[in-house]
Amino acid sequence: MGREKEKEKLSEKALNLLRSRLSDPNFIFRPLPDSPDSNYSKLKFIISTSVTEACNNSILLLGPRGSGKVAVLELVLSDLLQQYPEAISVIRLNGLLHSDDNCALKEIARQLCMEHQLLFSKVASFDDNSQFMIAMLRECGLAHKTIIFVLDEFDFFAQGKQRLLYSLLDAMQSVNSQAVVIGVSCRLDVDQLLEKRVRSRFSHRKLLFLSPSKEDTERFIEHILSLPMDSSLPHNYAAEFNGRLKKLLSDERFKELIDTYLSFNFTIGHLVRFLFQAVSYMDLNAGFLSLGNFKTALSSNQRQLKLECIRDCSVLELYMMVCMKRLEVKEQASYNFYSVMTEYKSIHDSFQTSDYYAANVCLRAFEHLLQCQLISFIDNKGHNQSVEFRPVKLLISSAELHQGLKSYQQCPAILLKLMDR
Amino acid sequence: MPTETPRKQFQSPKKPKQSPNNVKSQSSTPSIHLSPQTPQLPLRRSSRRSLQLFTSKTVDEMLDLSTPRKALEALDGIGKCSGNNRKGSSVRTPRTLKCKFNEEDREIPEMGKVGEGNGEVSPEALESKKRKNGLSEEGSVKMGKSPKCKLNEDLGKLGEGNGDVVSPEKRKKGLRNEESVKTRKSLRCKLSEEEMEIPDLGKLGDATFFPVSPQALESKKRKKGGEKRAVTRAMATRSLKKVNKEEKKGRKRVYYKKVVYDGGEFEVGDDVYVKRREDASSDDEVPEMEECRVCFKVGRGVMIECDDCLGGFHLKCLTPPLKEVPDGDWVCGFCQARKLGKDVEFPKPPEGKKRVRTLREKLLASDLWAARIESLWKEVDGSYWFRGRWYIIPEETASGRQPHNLKRELYRTNDFADIEMESIIRQCDVMSPKEYAKANDQGDDVFLCEYEYDIQWHSFKRLAEIDNDEDGECANGDEDWNSCKEDDSDTDEDMEYEEENERNAHARPSTTPQLAANSRKGRFFGIRKVGTKMIPEHVRCHKQTELERAKATLLLATLPKSLPCRNKEMEEITTFVKGAICDDQCLGRCLYIHGVPGTGKTMSVLAVMRNIKSEVDAGSIRPYCFVEVNGLKLAAPENIYTVIYEALTGHRVSWKKALQLLNERFSDGKKIAKGDDRPCILLIDELDLLVTRNQSVLYNILDWPTKPHSKLIVIGIANTMDLPEKLLPRISSRMGIQRLCFGPYNYQQLQEIISSRLKGIDAFEKQAVEFASRKVAAISGDARRALEICRRAAEIADYNMKNQISSVNSSTVKDVVTMADVDAAIQEMFQAPHVQVMKSCSKLSKIFLTAMVYELYKTGMGETTFEKLAMTCSCLCTSNGEAFPGWDTLLKVGCKLGECRIILCEAGDRHRVQKLQLNFPSDDVAFALKDSKDLPWLAKYL
């Protein structure tokens, strides 16, 4: 008993370690940087040259979500902050928060003030703030300090007149400063969004963050999941854990499983989420990762949401959907509650089903379908109209509906028949 | 009036030289606080503090003898001094002193309190108070502060001198009755007190005062040539102010740009050696030439300077003798030996001859000072003064000498002082690094100054290279300010009082309310703080490679020496501007400049304005004012009025008020101030941003030049050629017909621009530059792009080179930018990265994209819905043995692609009816997916 408890404790410790690793971007992206082709070293080179050689740069980090743009950037910044502790100040903006030029400039001024222990005034105007920013750029340039502007969700800054980008980039081309503007975006065409004068001033360095190759993925999984041999964990436990992991990794079924998972979204962030889930399913008594854990994680990931929605519907709602589907088959492009009711009635009249409800009950069912987003209004017009008159559209395809009906336990046979006709 | 006598004495600066024994006594005093080592800084600080209290005495004591002060100065110094006159005075004064002491004893406790609390009490404040009481004739009161016990002890010991430690309130009462008795005598001692020893005071201060602000530049004192007087930096400043004030009603200072003094010509902006203290050698002839370190003779052939110890050597005195001066750094044999760890002794000078140190050596040993002349003037009493900005040597900074400091390096401080011209020894040359690099044989007095040192924050900052421009403007502003200051002498005291406050505020930032840095009122308050505590070593010691130099010169921010390829346009602008300025009427002058971005529009105009400004400085053109506005940097188009008005007058008002005032000025010809009749050139960049709905802003601005007497010239810059045509006819007619088009650069021009920047740097293959310029010329003709491509290419080459060096230790790596690098840069800049993303995306995404293309081919319609696409997908999957993942997963895949903008899609909640469209040509998709390894069957459908 005591041994078992101890073992459980051990495995809990291992589990905690793995989880903390999986939620630490530094650990995840640390092994990638070494090679000269990696984005890490390229980015680090660009930023550190502007620190040491006193030049301005602007870089775009592009890549799908979850490919580690910000994580790598943070890694680079933390390394550089260690290397040049005094010489770098980082200003972080997010397009979702600061897409308005005025508030973005205010935020820049605020962070600059914070960074240099100056007093900040909330009421300063746009002009004041932009003059302050330019003055600071100049002063920092003279003091060999680099200001790094990180603009997350860069595409939101590239909207409207783009005053912020213009004044920033124009200052960088006219003032002797050392500043780096780093735009982070998942939109690949973000530089096309820039206004022509802004684009001309932008220095168009681009770093593309792509999904890792298959071999990298395997190495990556092993790197994350294998326990360290020189930690507080007992040596033989760690060794056994790693041995089993290795066996698991070489298992064909495991590879297939990972493939299926990644076939839909092939990014590191996505993979990490999956691994976290799988690790959390680890059996604490056994203390080792097994194929089963990964399978459970995969199945919990492959949920068909619309089908589950259908499973939760009442029979009446199913009737309504089938009616809509029949209307669509009849090439009736748009329908509202009353046309659906007519169809419903006609079904009832011809088949004499036991499930006939009054119109107000049907309306409730109709509203529920709207809330589930199984159906939706065609347009946003007619907000003042009552629900039953607005045209709606079925959001679920007939194939899905058919599948859903089949998996529905108490589905009346008549419905399946009606589907086919 | 008793004031007469002192004046006379004051005015005769040419006093007999110090008696030799006096000199000795001074030079022999332990120069504790003068030694340059940093560890002793606190001590010096405190000493300076104490000195400041006495500062104002030197001059104004002469003017008003009534004040019973002096106890402190008399303390140690007098006792030690053995000057003749001093003795005489000390004999005569005792009685007065006695009675003084009584008074003093009473007051000192209070003083001590004050002194401790404030650290420094501004004399001005006191003075102004006193004035109000009708005591102006009597001069000012100084507050000495020191703990009572110390003072008493000292006083007792000395039994001489009259203390002046008086609180302001006391003084008012006490002074009157005693003044007449004392004046003469106290004057005597005053004279002698000028010889007081500051070191001793320093010691005293050390014990009694704690060092306060970080502001302390060490206590600098200097001796005036003839007079025996020790003056600190602050002393000079203070005393002068007072004199100035006293005499303001009568005459004024006269400012000069250039002064010939004592055989030397001194100009504003010159750097000079300033005497620091009297020591034995300073009275000797200052050696113009340095002696050889070996033969100790001057002259006789070429000398070479060791780059390490800065010693001079005759070429032939060296072993082995050199024929000519070698290129590059040269280190003498002694230094080389020392570096190797040997114990070396420099050859001793021949018996009886003392090695004479040059001024440079003295400066670097901090026995002298250097300062930059900021302004020159003649005082009302006929003496010449200048306002100097101190230079300090690295050892005097908080961080001490750093390894990367050069031997001849100085730092400019933000510390000013008013100094009498007497103390100037001669000129020296403090140069920027660029000039310094060129200055090979300009003698011994050459120094390098690259950084400014902030004495409050102990931080360094590079000197801005374009400083000169702004300094010029600043100087103008200052003069205006000064003149108006002198006009109204009533407010003057307050102003100085404020100044004083400001100074104090700077010294103790914690106690005074701070202003926000980013608000207009604060005007970047505290921005001075920004600076490095240490100059990073990599900046100074790193030797640039060719590639790095190329990168630096290709930066957009670096202003090229010449602006090639825009000569014609610049000439046109020049004739336009000159014609407009020289014309008396300046009627209806307006120029519209258009061209695509990056064709040098703004740059050309600014270059023209610079040229014209230099002509104005030379005096060939009448002065004008130049206002530059950028449409995109305005928060709203109407704000332009505010900006223009502020630029013209310096006042900030709301835009409506500004519009009204500007209308008054330009349309009605009402001139507010005297400078207003100068023609005004208004440059509006990004003019198209000023177009409002009713276009009133543009109308107003373009309407002013048509008014008589407006003297306004408008230059508008925008990108579109037909902007005037798009505007209302009344505006386009006012805009006139004068247009200037900046066409896109062609490839020869781009090539010329790049190679003119790269002149002298061998980092690019010739074809590489041509390739880049051809490419850019074909796409946009944007010079910025071309420069950026080249810079990026250099960066790529640099990156590759550094990586190769780190991986393989081969020296065969060539550091030249090749075609391949340029090509990589162009690819990066112009190519959207979608192909790469498509190649590396997930399996389902590939199938999704293939289905999109397939659907496109099948239907010929660009737009499709998710329902149709899902059907196609499932068809593709089933017929090729892939598992169909289900609609919901597929929807997510589509949304992911939409996020990257590979496809355009509606929001995901539209589900089945979601509309989809490829964002890139289907050929790109086909190209990207044709040979995908994991899904070879995709090629069938593409």
Contacts of B179 (CB under 8 A, 6+ apart): B2, B65, B66, B67, B138
Does B403 sit behind a cis peptide bond, omega within 30 degrees of 0 on the bond before it? no
Confidence of residue B674 (pLDDT cuts 50, 70, 90): low
Residue with the larger pLDDT of the pair B286 and B623? B623
Per residue, what are the HEC states of B682-710?
A: EEEECHHHHCCCCCHHHHHHHHHHHCCCC
Q: What is the 3-state secondary structure (H, E, C) of B193-238?
A: HCCCCHHHHHHHHHHHCCCCCCCCCCCCEEECCCCCCEEEHHHHHH
Mean pLDDT throughout B758-762? 83
Domain count along chain B = 4
Same domain for B862 and B726, yes or no, is: no
CB distance from B902 to chain A under 8 Å? yes
Contact B847, B942 (CB under 8 A): no
> Could you report the per-residue pLDDT of B205-225, keeping only the tens digit for each?
333 333 333 333 333 333 333
| pLDDT of amino acid B273 | 82
Task: Count residue pairs from A and B with Cβ separation < 8 A.
Answer: 268
Q: What is the CATH number of the domain that holds B694?
A: 3.40.50.300
For residues B294 and B437, membership in a common domain is answered with: yes
The answer to whether residue B25 sits within a structural domain is no
Residues B439 and B409 in one domain: yes
**Confidence tier at B524 by pLDDT (50, 70, 90):** low
- Are B557 and A166 in contact (CB < 8 Å)? no
Number of neighbours of residue A210 by Cβ within 10 angstroms: 18
- Domain shared by B818 and B860, yes or no: no
The answer to whether residue B50 is domain-embedded is: no
pTM: 0.74
Q: With both helix axes pointing from N to C terminus, report the angle between B490-507 and B123-132 in degrees, rounded to the nearest 10.
A: 150
- With CB atoms and an 8 Å threshold, state whether A197 touches B686: yes
Residue B468 lies in a domain: no
**Structure-token pair, residue B555:** 């930066």
Q: Do the domain assignments include residue B850?
A: yes
Fold observed for domain A307-420: Arc Repressor Mutant, subunit A (1.10.10)
Q: Is the pLDDT of residue B496 over 50?
A: no
Whether residue B310 is found in the same domain as residue B393: yes
Task: Say if B514 is an interface residue toward chain A (CB within 8 Å).
Answer: yes
Whether B18 shows a pLDDT value over 50: the answer reads no
CA–CA distance, A120 with A110 (Å, rounded to integer): 6
**B268: in domain:** yes
3-class DSSP state for residue B459? Answer: strand
Q: A203: nearest CA in chain B? A: B788
A189 has a chain B CB within 8 A of its CB:
yes
Domain extents in chain A: 1-22+213-302, 31-208, 307-420
Contact B840 A266 (CB under 8 A): yes
* For residues B842-859, average pLDDT: 90
- Average pLDDT for B926-931: 87
More confident residue, B130 or B562: B562
> With 80 as the cut, is the pLDDT of residue B365 above it?
no
Is B843 part of a structural domain of the chain?
A: yes
pLDDT tier, B65 (very low <50, low <70, confident <90, very high otherwise)? very low
Average pLDDT in chain B: 67
Q: What is the CATH number of the domain that holds B857?
A: 1.10.10.10
Q: Does residue B660 share a domain with residue B720?
A: yes
Minimal C-alpha gap between B918 and chain A (Å)? 13
B763/B545 Cα distance (integer angstroms): 9
CA atoms lying within 13 Å on the CB side of residue A270: 24
* Residue B898 lies inside a defined structural domain of this protein: yes
Shortest Cα distance, chain B CAs vs residue A167, angstroms: 6
- ipTM score here? 0.90
Picking from B418, B433, B462, the residue at the C-terminal end of a domain is B462
Q: Calculate how close chain A gets to B199, using CA atoms only, in Å.
A: 36
Among B795, B830, B865, identify where a domain stops.
B830
Answer yes or no: is pLDDT of B95 > 70: no
A211 CB within 8 Å of a chain B CB: yes
Position A153 scores a pLDDT of 92
Q: Report chain A residues whose CB lies below 8 A from the CB of B802.
A: 45
Question: Do B301 and B429 belong to one domain?
Answer: yes
Residues B454 and B329 in one domain: yes
Is B502 part of any domain? Answer: no
- Residue where a domain stops, chosen among B462, B489, B509: B462
* Mean of pLDDT values over B573-601: 81
Q: What is the pLDDT of residue B168?
A: 41
Interface test with A, best of B463, B468, B518, B530 (most A CBs within 10 A): B518
DSSP string, A327-368: HHHTT---B-HHHHHHHHHHHHHHH--S----HHHHHHHHHH
Phi/psi at B930 (5° precision): -55, -50
Check residue B251 and give its pLDDT. 59
Same domain, B615 and B697: yes
Residues B396 and B408 grouped into a single domain: yes
Same domain, B633 and B649: yes
Instruction: Determine whether domain A31-208 maps to CATH 3.40.630.40.
Output: no
Chain A residues 111-150 within an 8 A CB cutoff of chain B: 112-113, 116-121, 123-132, 135-136, 138-145
Residue ranges of alpha helices (H) inside A122-213 are 126-142, 154-157, 163-174, 190-193, 196-201
CB contact under 8 A, A126 and B870: no
Report, as ranges of residue numbers, the positions in chain A whose pLDDT lies below 70.
1-2, 32-34, 421
**Domain with B595 in it:** 566-744
